[in-house]
Amino acid sequence: MTAIDVRSGRLPVGGAQQVPLLDIRGLSAAYGELLVLKDVDLRVNTGELICIIGPNGAGKTTLLKLVNGLLKPSGGEIWFQGERIDGRPAYKVARCGITQMFQDIQLCPTLSVVENVMTGCHVWTRSGFLATGFQSRGARVEESVIRAVAVEQLNSLGLAGRASAWPRQLSWGEQKLVGLARALVARPSLVLLDEPYGGLVQDEIDRLSCLLRELTVSGMTVLMVEHLTDVVMDVASRVVVLHYGEKIAEGLPQEIRRDERVVASYLGE
Amino acid sequence: MMNPIAGTKTISPVAGRPNAGRYIPYVVAAVVVLSAPVWAGAYLVSVLTIVGFHAVLALGLVLLTGLAGQVSLGQAMFFGMGAYLSALLTVRAGLPAWPCILVAAVITGVGAALIGFAVLRLRGIIVAGVTLTVNLIFYYLVMSMGQVTGGATGLTGIPRLPYPRGMPYSVFIFAFVWIGVVVLLVFSLNVARSRSGRALRVLNILAGGGEDTAQVLGINTMKYKVSAFVVAAIFASIGGSVYAHYTGVIEPGSFHVQLSVLVAIMVIVGGVATPWGAIVGATLMIGITEVLRAVAPIVLGGPTGAYELVAYGAILVATLLFLPQGLCSLPERVRRRRRADDGH
């Protein structure tokens, strides 16, 4: 991978330019009159695990919502795999290869665990009302493929035997894993994670860190918002710090730890 | 990817699949109902036919409200559209009945798509209010277009559907309606268990889902909501067309919002979360109506209309208080109670 300037997140001038997976240029967002994100630039390359940190109200979750299409920016551009995606509805952004695990997971309570994971396959499947209602051959084949993919993902995350359970019967940690499984079966190029470590105990934190490392090694890219600083410094390949909607720092974890502005505004002594 | 928990068992891809054997009681029930003309009298067959018409309406509403979480009080309008379109095409234009039913369904579906795109941008109870209003507009349009629709006196002389010789027409319609109910029930069950059904459940705000979650999963929420709305309208339209050719006479009062409200009560009482709830609710509510019509004049005196409304209200309140998931949730509730008792 081409070395990048950790301060700007930009590729060095000259030499072979690698097209970033996600390229955010001068992004701004506002809720009414309130500007919550101001002119943020960020480039994310394939296989990176970027962590966004900052105090409450810094605009971290807003940034994820802008990337996944749930919010429309008031300024700036978002490019993904060479295509401009800002302003597209969220379902079209998902079809480009971006998926998200929400902070509160948002599993569907009326679907079993395996069915919840199967919903993640929606993005690459096609059967509509008539095909499924009349059980066309294509719909039946597709359904069995979806189920097999979902079960395999549950197996790989250690959720064997929980396929038929209801979300309310799972622990918080297990629900997080189901949410992650649902995101992964979408076969995304970029996974957005909003505080995935929230509410987890130490064993679960370690397990999730292990999983995230494996994901990035396998070529997946992760953009994560997280409050647990120690975990962030452990798993992140790069850290971005937001403060009152502005990017105040970007760099390797050890550099962020030493950054005076970050220490003053967020990390503390 | 490596399994992060070493030594855990794995599950096969068929885990969580529904067990086909548990549907045997329902197949038996279907056979019993469909053989009613053999063991029941003409009156019971006609009551079961009316139950079937209501079940068709309620099945559409289960897809729309139970799965997609969109509360509609306009099902009677689509029932009426099917009835009037098919009746007008046969009576005024002299076209054969079967194609007219299909044409009516297509026109109703297009109309529902247009209404759906406009109405389903709204959320929650507002959708119910707007669909109810649209139903009222339809009612007054039919009333005011007397030269075409027959106005308040209705449309008469609607031809019967072609039916086999040697079979009473009422029995033919009974069989046709209930075979239709079974087909639509199977269709609805298949949708509920499939990719489309899961997409609808994920966006169902009433059942703990959310449109943001659905969109992030790649689900075009508007397309799915409108699709459910159109399918429910087409169910109602076909039911309405067959109803017109069954009775031979239609008038606007048969398609008033009261019918939409009654169908909504049927779905709530039977169970909004499963297509079976539509059939259970329709059977119970029509059954109670018929019992009241027979008993109330003798026991209480006077017309039965007011007693019916009181009974509907009481059943609705009792269901919401004691069995909010509807009658179809009762077996699961009993099983859960038994498991809890065994656990102690």
pLDDT of A209 reads 95
Rounded distance, CA B36 to CA B31, Å?
Answer: 9
- Residue B2 touches chain A, beta carbons under 8 Å: yes
Q: Where are the domains of chain B?
A: 25-256
> What does the pLDDT average to over B58-86?
96
Spatial strand order of the sheet with A98-101 comes to A98-101, A190-194, A221-225, A49-53, A238-243, A246-251
Q: How many residues does chain B have?
A: 344
B166-174, Cβ contacts within 8 angstroms, sequence gap of 24 or more: B170/B42, B170/B45, B170/B46, B170/B49, B171/B37, B171/B45, B173/B49, B173/B242, B173/B246, B174/B36, B174/B37, B174/B45, B174/B46, B174/B48, B174/B49, B174/B52
CB B236 within 8 A of CB B105: no
Rounded distance, CA A92 to CA B219, Å?
Answer: 9
Which of B217, B219, B339 is the mutation pick for testing A, counting most A CBs within 10 A?
B217
Dihedral of alpha carbons B179, B183, B184, B189, sign:
positive
Shortest CB distance from B208 goes to which of A100, A110, A127? Answer: A110
pLDDT in tens, B280-321: 999 999 999 999 988 888 888 777 778 888 999 999 999 999
Q: List the beta bridge partners of residue A78.
A: A24
At residue A238's C-alpha, the angle toward residues A234 and A239, to 5°, is 85
Nearest CA distance, B224 vs chain A (angstrom): 9
Rounded distance, CA B206 to CA B227, Å?
Answer: 18
Q: Does A10 score more than 60 pLDDT?
A: no
Tokens of A76: 């700036």
Sequence-ordered list of residues with C-beta below 8 angstroms from that of B39, at least 6 positions apart, any chain: none
Dihedral of alpha carbons B189, B190, B193, B197, sign:
negative
Q: Does B16 score more than 70 pLDDT?
A: no
Dihedral-angle region of residue B179 (phi above 0 means left; psi in -120 to 50 means alpha; beta otherwise): alpha
For residue A214, the chain B residues in CB contact (below 8 A) are: 1-2
More confident residue, B106 or B308: B106
Tokens of A267: 């990390």
Tokens of B57: 């309406």
Q: How many CB pairs under 8 A join A and B?
A: 156
Give the percent of chain A with pLDDT over 90: 85
Sequence-ordered list of residues with C-beta below 8 angstroms from that of B240, at least 6 positions apart, any chain: B78, B79, B80, B81, B82, B83, B84, B86, B104, B255
Pairing of strands A75-80, A22-31: antiparallel
Q: Indicate the range of A102-116, B235-249, B298-312 predicted with least confidence.
A: B298-312
CB A120 within 8 A of CB A172: no
DSSP state of A7: T
CB B83 within 8 A of CB B241: yes
- Residue B212 touches chain A, beta carbons under 8 Å: yes
Q: Does B246 score more than 80 pLDDT?
A: yes
Rounded distance, CA A154 to CA B266, Å?
Answer: 39
- Residue B188 touches chain A, beta carbons under 8 Å: yes
> What does the pLDDT average to over A175-195?
96
Cross-chain Cβ contact A164/B16 below 8 Å: yes
Confidence of residue B343 (pLDDT cuts 50, 70, 90): low
> What does the pLDDT average to over B220-224?
97
pLDDT in tens, B145-204: 999 999 999 999 999 999 998 999 999 999 999 999 999 999 999 999 999 999 999 999
Rounded distance, CA A104 to CA B270, Å?
Answer: 32
Nearest CA distance, A112 vs chain B (angstrom): 8
Rounded distance, CA B314 to CA B154, Å?
Answer: 32
Confidence of residue B6 (pLDDT cuts 50, 70, 90): very low
3 state SS of A34: strand
Tokens of A191: 């996974």
- Residue A119 touches chain B, beta carbons under 8 Å: yes
Give the percent of chain B with pLDDT over 70: 93
Nearest CA distance, A182 vs chain B (angstrom): 9
Query: DSSP states of A203-233 as a string?
Result: HHHHHHHHHHHHHHHTT-EEEEE---HHHHH
- Residue A142 touches chain B, beta carbons under 8 Å: yes
pLDDT in tens, A160-170: 899 999 999 99
Dihedral-angle region of residue B64 (phi above 0 means left; psi in -120 to 50 means alpha; beta otherwise): alpha
Rounded distance, CA A47 to CA B143, Å?
Answer: 67
What is the pTM (predicted TM-score) of this model? 0.89
Nearest CA distance, B201 vs chain A (angstrom): 7
Rounded distance, CA B260 to CA A235, Å?
Answer: 57
Q: Where are the domains of chain A?
A: 111-182
CB B173 within 8 A of CB B49: yes
Tokens of B76: 């009677």
For residue B19, the chain A residues in CB contact (below 8 A) are: none
Q: Does B220 score more than 70 pLDDT?
A: yes
pLDDT in tens, A201-247: 999 999 999 999 999 999 999 999 999 999 999 999 999 999 999 99
- Residue given tokens 């009516």 in the structure block: B104
Closest CA in chain A for residue B2: A156
Shortest CB distance from A110 goes to which of B201, B218, B231? Answer: B201
